[in-house]
Amino acid sequence: MSAEDRNDVIQIIAKCKELFRQGFKQLEDLERQYLLSHPPEAVLTSEKSNDLPWMKYASGSGEWIFADSKGAEALWNALKQRPQFGRIELDGWIYRLSHGETRDFITRTKKGS
């Protein structure tokens, strides 16, 4: 490969990297705007999630409830609105939505565990 060809390739790669950076920044801006306009945590802070009928996993690594449990509506709705993130962090817990064969579940684990 000649020096001129090599320089052309390097310039193309640099341009591609810059386009990716710009695109990624736009994605981050869109994500930020969405999260600011749809903050599920604001809805959930008023809900007493600790009072829900959580069942502990046998391993002790977390807890779960049926998604249609009484009182879990706000948490369930917030999780459904954020499928691309797959989780919500709130008050030291990480909440996730799980789909079972016949029923859906909400799981939670302590952050950092």
pLDDT score of 43: 56
- In this structure, what are the phi and psi dihedrals at residue 76, rounded to the nearest 5 degrees? -60, -50
pLDDT at residue 46, rounded to an integer: 42
Any idea which residue has 């962090």 for tokens?
89
DSSP element (H, E) containing 3: helix 3-37
Confidence (pLDDT) at 40: 57
3-state secondary structure of 109: strand
| Cα(104)–Cα(96) distance, integer angstroms | 11
pLDDT, averaged per 10 consecutive residues of the chain (113 residues), comes to: 90 93 86 68 60 89 91 83 74 87 91 78
Contact between 111 and 75 (Cβ < 8 Å): no
